[in-house]
Amino acid sequence: MTSVNLTPITKEEQPTSHVTVGKSKVGSRAEIARVRHAGREAFFRVDTEEDGFASTIKNKVYLNSNVATLFGGINRTNDFYVDTDVSLGSVRACKRATIYAEGVNEEALTSALAERQFLLHPIHEVVDIGGERVEFVVDELEPRGTTLRVDEDTEFVFLDEPPASTGPPAGAGDGTDADGAPGGDGSGGAAPRATRRRPTSTSPRRTRRRASRRTSRDSRR
């Protein structure tokens, strides 16, 4: 496994979906990274920068500050390993994601996430979609994990109001199968289902609405 111990540096302009590392540390072909820190791990897509003599990145890894939530914060006394000998299929597929996306076109968002096989984390996500900065909060993921991969079968539930808190629940996995096997073949597909629904119990901060929407796959039938 290609593994390097780097110094984490948070940058607000960095998308939560990616980590940026020096090209010489991981190679130019690296696409997916498993980040291990403080006994937890999560997956991200990889951006690389030239890290020659005049470079500032050198032994650093850039990540959005929101990502720190996945590791219970960044502990500077602990190692921060970036493994890149992993594939997209190593990340389990997301069955259902509950999110809050104020002012965002929900259909366009779900389609974009599916097309990119987006790696979802239970945090405030900040992503670049078509050159536009898009923000949304991932409240719940099914199955539980620090990272799940959106595919054509992913169902989205949209909240009307922001959740009280974000972050991986206690005991959340890392996004790989329980036996450590890959979670899928990483093949692309049609856009996921997007629905809204109400919970069985009343909650002032977690009202859910139900709406029916055909996906591009359904419309072809």
Confidence of residue 112 (pLDDT cuts 50, 70, 90): very high
Mean pLDDT of 72-96: 94
The predicted model gives 95-103 an average pLDDT of 96
CATH dotted code for 3-86: 2.40.40.20
**Which residues, including other chains, have CB under 8 Å from residue 221's CB and lie 6 or more apart?**
none
What are the DSSP calls for 180-218, one per residue? Answer: S--S------SPPEEEB---SS--TT--B--B----HHH
44/150 Cα distance (integer angstroms)? 13
Biggest distance spanned by C-alpha atoms of the chain:
59
Domain parsing of the chain, residue ranges: 3-86, 89-219
Name the token pair of 58: 């050198």
Whole-number Å distance between alpha carbons of 178 and 53:
43
Report, as an integer, the average pLDDT of 104-123. 95
d(CA 8, CA 62): 6
Pairing of strands 119-120, 148-149: antiparallel
pLDDT exceeds cutoff 70 at 47: yes
Within 13 Å, how many C-alpha atoms sit on residue 208's CB side? 19
Is the CATH number of domain 89-219 3.10.330.10?
yes
pLDDT digits over 163-201, tens only?
A: 886 656 544 555 554 334 444 333 344 445 554 543 323
